[in-house]
Structure 1
């Protein structure tokens, strides 16, 4: 039996997440020398190096990936055990590690506030990131539940729909197309399209939507990595954008953006609540899942009728 400690395993997890000893030390509340010692002792025990060390940071070697996978499984098992023990004691408290894609951050706080009213003793740790990051967090068992537009296909997951997720094309109120109706896609030619980065769910929807008019995504395309920057760019007159209707409620109310009446929009997508299928949900996670299916849709902003 290999003799190792939870502190050593958590050091590996933290270094993998942050890429540096110093970042891991801040997360774990330890000093950098202490983290270095934990890794050195673990490498001596295993007889293999766990990381490639370079000026750009630390990256897992094959042995390190094996240790990380085991650490994630152990961490999840301990988390599940803690929740089950609390349930056996009759306690109603628990902890949920929730990850949401960046578009969901516009309604997630309202969801969490309402859930907290029903379950005040359940702590929720929130992580916000792009789709790739949330997929990685699920893959590494770093989160328990995710809110996203499309579940991953390369992981064993359980997923349920809790609401609609419309995508719309927006412009400034004084745009030449703002007052027109039934705008054909080819009427958008000549406009600079502002889009999210490759790999995002919204970008994928835009690529499908413009498949018949590929010129819309020519070299005039402006690619940005956040919804906030996209909205500011549209309001500044840099172009038009396909964006989640759930990110623009405030700007529509203030008259800073308008939804263009483009044929084929809104693009109707869905919001999913997702968890890994290869782990047992805790009582707290089950309560959150059921809460979303029962009440989640009411927290989604409503697209105004044109």
Structure 2
């Protein structure tokens, strides 16, 4: 496979992304026969088919996925090289493909704005998704850096800690539990608890908190797929919820939500900047990670009032 060309690899990327040879050819500015020839040459070299030709379009085989992974890795390395050359020339520029889990979208714009204030010539392209989506994008070389609470374990990554991440139980300010202190877990299980979808970091932390009692938890829980939906449901008094404190600072300060005084909470998790180990970090990425370590925690939302009695003005 040493005779592979960038044109061949980019043909594989384009077909995978757009589903058909015709669509890939249009994107690449080539003819369909030219793209077909690029694929045929790689398949002959590999001795394996890279795509299954189906009625729904071209689908990567196992060999095709391996070639695509190599193509993505080479593409990111070439972009890092370009940024490195610019840096050597004295150009403080570059592009960062940044992915954040949905909980981090509440502070990511603030982080980006502060970073761009220091490096105005760097472009940051932001992608927001649930944990599964962000991990998949990082694994497929579509992201340079991902901000999340639980680094993936199924492929090699480097994780850089940049801030604490408290998780709390919230309720409508008029809920009876807002006047109680040191609330125990069994008392919480008497309430309807609104929880995030399976696979989210918040959901995993909640299951850990109720270890040994998850049957009771799930018997009365309601699953919702976004922090905004959960907040609206709690404000409508449909239940209490376990949520990141970084998503509710505004609503607590406005008196629309209350943080319950639960024994052994807040649960403290951490925020990480995660990169693939096999990528060469460009100067822009190194600058962003250094910024996160030095100043990232200063741009995380802070709950000024954690105790519910203070938050709702109760005596």
TM-score (ref. length: structure 2): 0.86
Query: How far did residue 269 of structure 1 move?
Result: 0.3
Q: Quick check: 1:40 aligned with 2:40?
A: no
Q: Does 1:150 align with 2:150?
A: yes
Q: Distance in 1 between matches of 2:228 and 2:11?
A: 35
1:300 alignment counterpart: 300
Maintained 8 Å contact 2:191/2:240: yes
Q: Is the 1:189–1:215 Cα contact (8 Å) retained in structure 2?
A: no
Counterpart residue number, 1:191: 191
What corresponds to 2:171 in structure 1? 171
Shift of 1:257: 1.0
Note closer, same or farther for the CA distance 1:88–1:102 as it changes in structure 2 (3 Å cut): same
Q: Which runs of 5+ in 1 are unaligned?
A: none
Q: Distance in 1 between matches of 2:297 and 2:236?
A: 32
Secondary structure at the residue paired with 1:177? helix
Cα displacement (A) at 1:155: 2.2
Larger CA deviation: 182-191 vs 206-215: 206-215
For 2:25 and 2:118, the matched residues in 1 are separated by: 32
Verify: 1:224 aligned to 2:220, yes or no. no
Q: Which has the larger radius of gyration?
A: 2
Q: Distance in 2 between matches of 1:219 and 1:9?
A: 50
Change (3 A) 1:232 1:51: farther
Asked whether the equivalents of residues 98 and 143 of structure 1 are also in contact (C-alpha less than 8 Å), the reply is yes
Structure 2 equivalent of residue 204 of structure 1: 204
Tell whether the 8 Å contact from 2:197 to 2:224 is kept in structure 1 after alignment: yes
Kept after mapping to 2: 8 A contact 1:4/1:42: no
Distance 1:62-1:92 versus aligned 2 partners, 3 A rule: same
Helix, strand or coil at the partner of 1:182: coil
- For the pair 1:72 / 2:72, whether they are aligned, the reply is yes
Give 3-state SS (helix, strand or coil) of 1:199's partner. coil
